[in-house]
Amino acid sequence: MIALFLAGSLAFALSLFGTGFLEKFMRGRGRSQPILEMNAENIAVPQHQHKKGTPTMGGLAVLGAAGLGYLLAHIRQGVVFSNQTLIMFAGVVIMAGIGFVDDFIKVRKKRNRGVLWKLKGWITLLMSFGIAAALVAFTDIDTRLSLTRASLPGWQLGSVGWVLWAGIIIFATTNAVNVTDGLDGLAGGSAMFGFTAFSIIAFLGFRNRDIYADIVNPYDLAVFAVAFAGACGGFLWWNAAPARIFMGDVGALGLGSALALLALTTNTQLLLPILVGLNVIEIGSVAIQMSVFKATKGKKRVFRLSPIHHHFEMVGWPETTVIIRFWLIAGIFVVSGLGLFVADFTKQVGR
């Protein structure tokens, strides 16, 4: 438990002070996020021009704090690294690196979209399959389809099938968090809820090895999840509306991949869509909007603007109202997902 406290508290403190330093550093050098005035369909977006000049790439502080919090927690005797978690960190760094390149281009070129935006989807998809393949090749990760544990439903996918399945999960979750990152604190707050849930799941896996024997080093996974939760909390001090710094793609892609990897390594793949239910709604709204728009040749739209958080802004909700209500929705999803996990856990304990 002390290692978990160390990871969370150190990551929070490092993120809190690190983000503050990064905000001043980026602001002093004019490294701000260009604000989009019209979307791809030439629809005016909500009035966010007051955010012009706000620094971006705050995700660097979040991921750095999470990494340091995780590493420093291992000074506790008995807390050991696992090759699985180290591969997870490598995967997060790779995804964050893609986001960093795109953020840097946006800032440098003063464009809302980096030159990679058309290729970014293909690049992240290939990297997702690569990360999944590394987990299969170098760890003892379970390759069964799972909901709350490896044996439920327990369908064996095989190495190739699991890599394809896991790659899609990483890709989808990464992009879902990226789409959610459109309002101050929305992505960071909802991600913090998700990491907290995985901290509980991994810790229960550690304390009940007879039930969750198929999770590789669950305590290290709990330390990993707690560190990310703490880092998100410290970042929100600066990212809460009105944001002093934005997360950027570097943060959104990094956090999204971390959430997906935790679901894969704790054998809760099918539970992930519930735990990140808000992100599913967000990216689902984009998919629906694009499908209807293309099917009707630009004549009809389901939402005034997608992702759906912008739709509610367009109908008159203040930004802070959208954020808080969406946080509540995210919390409901997380509690529901944890409820399913705990219900299955108590059923197994009672046998």
Q: Mean of the pLDDT values across residues 217-242?
A: 96
- In this prediction, what percent of the chain has a pLDDT beyond 90? 78
d(CA 150, CA 269): 9
pLDDT (0 to 100) of residue 54: 87
Q: What is the pLDDT of residue 117?
A: 58
- Report residue 307: phi and psi, to 5°: -60, 165
Mean pLDDT to the nearest integer, 253-281: 98
pLDDT at 322 (0 to 100): 96
Q: Where are the domains of the chain?
A: 2-269
End-to-end CA distance of the chain: 27
Residue 206 has pLDDT above 60, yes or no: yes
The more confidently predicted of residues 134 and 45 is 134
Q: What is the DSSP string of 122-166?
A: HHHHHHHHHHHHHHHHHS----EEEEEETTEEEEE-HHHHHHHHH
Alpha helices in 181-318 (DSSP H): 186-207, 218-239, 248-265, 272-275, 277-295, 308-314
Q: How confident is the model at residue 221 (pLDDT cuts 50, 70, 90)?
A: very high
Q: The whole model's pTM is what?
A: 0.94
**Average pLDDT of the chain?**
91
Range scoring the smallest mean pLDDT among 117-121, 239-243, 310-314: 117-121
The better pLDDT of the pair 104, 245 is held by 245
